[in-house]
């Protein structure tokens, strides 16, 4: 006899249509699964995450990113139900999930492993920040909006000195987000690689660079503004100064996402671009 799958529901219920969509979904799955909790945004209880088989997240990619750090630590696959605009992580409409639900919670081949980044900011006498990014790590000039200078090394070897409005360091998953808007390349979501894309560089010869994800990237600020800031997934912030050293490397864990068998990453991209 097959055990009843256990799920946790995440959703920012302040957003329009999210609560209504969750109520519709819970009526549909009644008797099919056990709902352990209905969590608000990324706020959930660790011991429940250890017991759950799937997390069903309602909203957009931002909502998934809010929950992703907790979910990835517990190896919980995400089924992302899009409420609003088409997303790269929120891959399903509610109707598609209803149509495919039995397959989604039984077919392990649909679970994709997505690379994450570990980012650490070392201050003069302490670690200022250590966290995980699923999409990207962005260093932005901030007020007074003068260009900033960043020296980059890969595995201890000099890579480039960048004078710009900032840089974007993204995963393959994040390559279709801010990186794409800034002129960076689109990577297949399954690659093990890191994209470094300058934001409005002073030197036009500085183009986006793709490096092996097994190599550690170090960034040394050479010139900053009062509010030059490092931002992870648009959600975690820390200001930077000249004494800081930023290390970015492939995270040992991964983010698990249930893929939509009705479309590929490239179908989603085509929908966005068109």
CB 10 within 8 Å of CB 63: yes
Q: How far is C-alpha 122 from the geometric centre of its chain's CA atoms?
A: 22
Beta strands 136-140 and 193-199: pairing type?
unpaired
Q: Which two tokens stand for residue 139?
A: 């260093």
Beta bridge partners of 217: 154, 248
H or E element at residue 34: strand 34-40
Residue tagged 């990207």 (tokens): 136
Q: Is 227 considered catalytic here? A: no
Rounded to 5°, angle at Cα 64 from 17 and 15: 20
- Count the helices and strands in the chain (H runs, E runs): 6, 16
Q: Which of 61, 136, 165, 233 is catalytic?
A: 61
C-beta of residue 206 within 8 angstroms of C-beta of residue 174: no
Structure tokens that stand for 78 in this block: 């995400």
Cα–Cα distance for residue pair 41/213, rounded to 1 Å: 30
Active site positions, annotated: 61
């Amino acid at each position: 006899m097959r055990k009843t799958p256990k799920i946790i529901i995440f959703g920012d219920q302040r957003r329009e249509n999210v609560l209504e969509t969750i109520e519709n979904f819970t009526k549909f799955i009644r008797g099919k699964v056990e709902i352990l909790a209905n969590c608000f945004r990324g706020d959930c209880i660790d011991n429940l995450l250890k017991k759950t088989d799937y997390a069903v997240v309602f909203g957009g990619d931002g909502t998934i990113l809010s929950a992703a750090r907790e979910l990835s630590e517990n190896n919980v696959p995400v089924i992302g139900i899009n409420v609003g605009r088409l997303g790269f992580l929120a891959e399903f409409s509610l109707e598609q999930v209803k149509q495919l639900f039995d397959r989604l919670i039984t077919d392990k081949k649909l679970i994709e492993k997505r690379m994450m980044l570990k980012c650490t900011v070392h201050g003069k006498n302490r670690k200022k920040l250590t966290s995980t990014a699923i999409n990207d790590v962005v260093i932005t000039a901030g007020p007074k909006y003068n260009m900033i200078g960043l020296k980059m090394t890969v595995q201890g070897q000099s890579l480039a000195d960048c004078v710009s409005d900032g840089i974007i360091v993204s995963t393959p998953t994040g390559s279709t987000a801010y990186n794409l808007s800034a002129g960076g390349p689109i990577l297949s979501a399954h690659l093990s690689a890191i994209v470094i894309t300058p934001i409005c560089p002073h030197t036009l010869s500085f183009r986006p660079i793709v490096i092996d994800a097994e190599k550690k990237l170090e960034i040394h600020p050479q010139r900053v503004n009062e509010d030059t800031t490092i931002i992870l997934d648009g959600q975690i912030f820390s200001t930077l100064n000249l004494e800081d050293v930023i290390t970015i490397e492939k995270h040992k864990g991964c983010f698990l996402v249930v893929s939509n068998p009705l479309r590929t990453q490239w179908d989603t991209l085509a929908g966005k671009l068109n």
